[in-house]
Structure 1
Amino acid sequence: MNESCIIPTSPLLLNLSHVLVCVTAPVYISTCYILIFKCPAFFNQYRSVLLRHIFTCIFMEYFMDIIWQLTVVVPYSALCSMGLGYQYSVLMFSIVVAGLCATGISIMHMFEYRRNAVTDDSIKVLKRVITGVKYYHYFMMTSCMCLLIASYSHLADQKEFKMNIQSKFGSLPSYIWCDNCMFINTDSTTVLIFVGLAASSQPLAAVYFGLSVYASKLGLQKLRNSLSQKTISIQRNFLYSLYLQTAVHVIFISVPLGIFFISFIVYIPQSAMCKNFKSLKFQVSIFSDMSYILVAMCTQHGSLSTLALLMSNKPLYSVFTKTFLRMKLNLRGADRVSALEASSWYRSATSPNRERIVK
């Protein structure tokens, strides 16, 4: 990379995400090891769903940290690539968008699996509504990717848009003009439609998750009379663990993205910059440091979600402590999971027109 294209920053902030990736790597390793080699027999099918989600998170984390290595330059809201793929910043951005879509789909699959495990045909209408919302969300994500492909040339040709940014903020740093730095070109109608569609897909995903939570609660209530308390307890734990995983994703992705778009919309005019130069310089320094933290949040959402799974899912946590920490857990009877109990849960949960409760 040309020296003029390197963004000046402190080594600590520049390597923050690298350090976090090294710190969180054991989380992925231990969780995958437990799911692949130490997984309880009744957990096998749900294990496949979890592993697909975790592998998606691993790809996103290491791609963003090593290949893209995003740096958000404020107050311009420029997306600058400092990683191995710095020459293809628009392509890197497109792959990350596709990765976020894949992450969302994997979360929806986890909700679908857990919902089907505790519901039957008594809520057929609600399940059809949820399925319709799911496929409509798939359609919106597919449309987003098609629009992103259609707007690739608008995102790649940044010269005119960068000149418009310069007219707003004044003279831009030299590295902004390099190909490794790009903006979301809102002068393009196609890009604007893409941004609007991507933003509107989030409330739709929230509707899907909300309906899935409601359906799962209804299913558990109906199963109270036909299943043991142990089975109900473990199924409730699976659901709460999934809710916690999803909350981590929502917080650590939505907050950085929301702040990014706000910073892109709200800017300080050149006249205000001249009047309050010292104060502005201090504020820009603070926001610049914060941008590295927000990027690290977005990069680490997968590992934190995996950690939430490992700590909140009782069967996995039990195996983890016995395998790695060599601790004897004083679990209550309702929390113990064995193959015999899994078999009894399956027999008690299986009936005509009812799906498996434990797989």
Structure 2
Amino acid sequence: MRRCEFDNELLLKSIATLLALLIAPVYLIAFYALIWNCPKYFHKYRTLLMLHVVGNLSFDAFMSFVWHPHFILPWVACCAVGIAWQFPYAMFTMFFVHIVRRRCDHPHFKYRMECVLIGQSRHPRAKGVAKFLAIFQIVSIATITDFVYGRQWLVDPQRKIELNQVVYCEQCVLIANFNYIHTYILFVASAFLMISAIVAIAFCELSAHAALSSMRSRVSPKTHELHSSFLRCLVRLVAVHVGLLGTPVGVFALAHLVEFRHRVWSYFANALTIQTSIHGGLSTLAMLFYTRPLVNNLFRKKPSQRNSVSKF
């Protein structure tokens, strides 16, 4: 496969590498705080946050070095320029795998909280909704893999006059042809993914808050306050996470309806790509900032046994 050269490719790689080096200490601090500096009364949720941080780290490494996508507007071509540039479709599929996995984290947090409180989940409908969302999003992954066999359809020679020749490079995924039914499915799946994530935040927060309220009389005030505080932390954390990922996905979906032809949009697309590549580090930083037990222990502000929960 012949490698293509793109505008500002070296500059974008340099920026991504620099930001990765700057964000690396955040992960080191997070692992230190969760493994060696976590208060005992917070151990029930430490595993969840560890999984969240590991997911953030893997996604940042994938976006910054493995895939490192380069978007070409207004044709919505996604080109792989990272280490795995020879496998553009596999990288595009892995991107959706990461997104779907992060989307499934939201109900996971909620169910874990309910298991701690009442021993089991009392929201079977919520489980059904979560399963439906996961299945629908897995369909989007299957749709992307089918692009491997539909490339000849996508790069119809009659359209080459209309499009920039660079988008036909073999390391690019071109999804601009709406005569191909899978393009519609991918577009709908992307829009649904973003909307469902926002809805899931509200649904999980409301249902978990209701579960906490119903358990007020059956648990100690300290336990109730601990879980309520952790719920507020999760809502803020997920909101930051979805906001950082939702903006690029929203622009990706909008680019199928609006032609962003001005050159400034290319710079905007590059900025969103860089934002996506460091969103895991920023989300981890938000976790450290909003999770008060970790912050208190990290800066040696150890509260007394009596006031540990109230300060949380």
Range class of TM-score, shorter chain: 0.7 to 0.9
Quote the offset at 1:251 in angstroms.
0.9
| Whole-Å separation in 2 of the counterparts to 1:65 and 1:166 | 33
Q: Which residue in 2 is equivalent to 1:308?
A: 286
SS state at 2:243 partner: helix
Q: 1:87 to 1:233 in 2, by over 3 A?
A: same
**Structure 1 portions without partners, runs of 5+:** 269-279, 323-328, 338-359
Q: Which residue in 1 is equivalent to 2:166?
A: 175
| Whole-Å separation in 1 of the counterparts to 2:244 and 2:97 | 17
Larger relative helix fraction: 1
Quote the offset at 1:98 in angstroms.
0.8
Quote the offset at 1:331 in angstroms.
5.1
| Whole-Å separation in 1 of the counterparts to 2:206 and 2:285 | 25
| Whole-Å separation in 2 of the counterparts to 1:32 and 1:240 | 21
| Whole-Å separation in 2 of the counterparts to 1:245 and 1:331 | 23
SS state at 1:79 partner: strand
Do residues 97 (structure 1) and 93 (structure 2) align?
no
Aligned partner of 1:181: which letter? C
Aligned partner of 1:239: which letter? L
Quote the offset at 1:133 in angstroms.
0.8
| Whole-Å separation in 1 of the counterparts to 2:29 and 2:275 | 21
Aligned partner of 2:235: which letter? Y
Do residues 148 (structure 1) and 144 (structure 2) align?
yes
Q: 1:97 to 1:44 in 2, by over 3 A?
A: same
**Structure 2 portions without partners, runs of 5+:** none
Aligned partner of 1:64: which letter? M
Q: Which residue in 1 is equivalent to 2:308?
A: 336
Q: 1:267 to 1:330 in 2, by over 3 A?
A: same
Q: 1:102 to 1:232 in 2, by over 3 A?
A: same
| Whole-Å separation in 2 of the counterparts to 1:175 and 1:42 | 56
SS state at 2:170 partner: coil
Q: 1:232 to 1:155 in 2, by over 3 A?
A: farther
Quote the offset at 1:255 in angstroms.
0.8
Higher-Rg structure is 1
Q: 1:215 to 1:177 in 2, by over 3 A?
A: closer
Aligned partner of 2:212: which letter? L
| Whole-Å separation in 2 of the counterparts to 1:165 and 1:307 | 45
The number of aligned residues is 309
Equivalent residues in 2 for 1:196-215, closer than 5 Å: 196-215=188-207
Do residues 288 (structure 1) and 280 (structure 2) align?
no
Aligned partner of 1:164: which letter? R
SS state at 1:72 partner: strand
Quote the offset at 1:189 in angstroms.
0.9
Larger displacement relative to structure 2 (234-243 or 256-265) = 256-265
| Whole-Å separation in 1 of the counterparts to 2:105 and 2:303 | 31
Summarize deviations over 1:268-287 as a string: whole Å, max 9, x none: 7xxxxxxxxxxx7xx31x22
Task: Give the aligned CA root-mean-square deviation in angstroms.
Answer: 2.9
Q: 1:332 to 1:16 in 2, by over 3 A?
A: farther
Quote the offset at 1:297 in angstroms.
1.5
Q: 1:44 to 1:332 in 2, by over 3 A?
A: closer
Q: 1:263 to 1:53 in 2, by over 3 A?
A: same
